[in-house]
Amino acid sequence: MLFMVVFLSFLSLIASGYGDLGWIDAHATFYGGGDAAGTMGGACGYGNLYSQGYGTDTAALSTALFNNGLSCGACFEIKCSNSKDPRWCLPGSIVVTATNFCPPNNALPNNAGGWCNPPLQHFDLAQPVFQQIAHYRAGIVPVSYRRVPCRKRGGIRFTINGHSYFNLVLITNVGGSGDVHAVSIKGSRTSWQVMSRNWGQNWQSNSYLNGQTLSFKVTIGDGRTIVSYNIAPAGWSFGQTFTGKQFL
């Protein structure tokens, strides 16, 4: 039985493109200042990255990696390519979560400022985590990366924003492949309803769900689905956060 669980977990790693399946070349820069204050908010909608548990181990992804926001929450292991730039690289690797988008700058060439232009695979790292793999003065360094499972503490968190007939649910702290690809919601007086992705990891339902206990069904990029039943009580209100089950 244990062997089967391990084998299925391995297959899910392959399906989502992460695990020890080889390193891919890219480049990395940094932003946000020494305290990473400039990384707060961002295109994934996570808001305060400290209170959400992401801290400074975060990255903004170029267009080629961002996947129009579906990569939000994905985790990457990154190491500086010492063989290509021994002057600026430091040993070791980091693991970061995708929390933002690095927009292209088409006014600049890809090799001189347009680091996030398509089709480049590029990570704009929070400054503190960049300095774990490269010297500050480097500015930009060659790196290698691979997708890895996200290790999160506690369950998936669902923050319900919006108003009646417009339920906007921010989904954070997702383990496994980390990137949420589909969400359904169920009230105690409704059937399961597919939510649409509004932006980043904010998922929308236009149903009237006030006064009902709420359940959520989440599918991540590796194809796995988890259901959290009745995690929001009937007396929930907008602005509250509720915790569900977690992917291992």
The secondary structure of the chain as a DSSP string is: -HHHHHHHHHHHHHHHTBSSS--EEEEEEEES-TT-GGGSS-TT----TTTTT-TT-EEEEPHHHHGGGTTTT-EEEEEE-TTT-TTTB-SSEEEEEEEEE----TTS-TTTT-TT-TT--EEEEEHHHHTTTB-GGG-SEEEEEEEE-B--SS--EEEEEEETTEEEEEEE---BT--EEEEEEEETTS--EE-EEEETTEEEE-S--TTS-EEEEEEETTS-EEEEEEEE-TT--TT-EEE-----
Q: How far is Cα 20 from Cα 200, in angstroms, rounded to an integer?
A: 27
Tens of pLDDT, residue by residue over 171-225, are 999 999 999 999 999 999 999 999 999 999 999 999 999 999 999 999 999 999 9
C-beta separation of 101 from 107 below 8 A: no
C-beta separation of 210 from 230 below 8 A: no
C-beta separation of 12 from 21 below 8 A: no
Q: In Å, how far are 150, 188, 226 from 54, measured between CA atoms?
A: 11, 32, 22
Degrees (nearest 5) of the Cα angle 133, 134, 138? 160
Burial of 1 (0-12, 13-18, 19+ CB in 10 A): exposed
Task: Look at residue 248 in the predicted model and tell me its pLDDT.
Answer: 85
Task: Look at residue 8 in the predicted model and tell me its pLDDT.
Answer: 39
Task: Look at residue 12 in the predicted model and tell me its pLDDT.
Answer: 42
Parts of the chain with a pLDDT under 70: 1-21
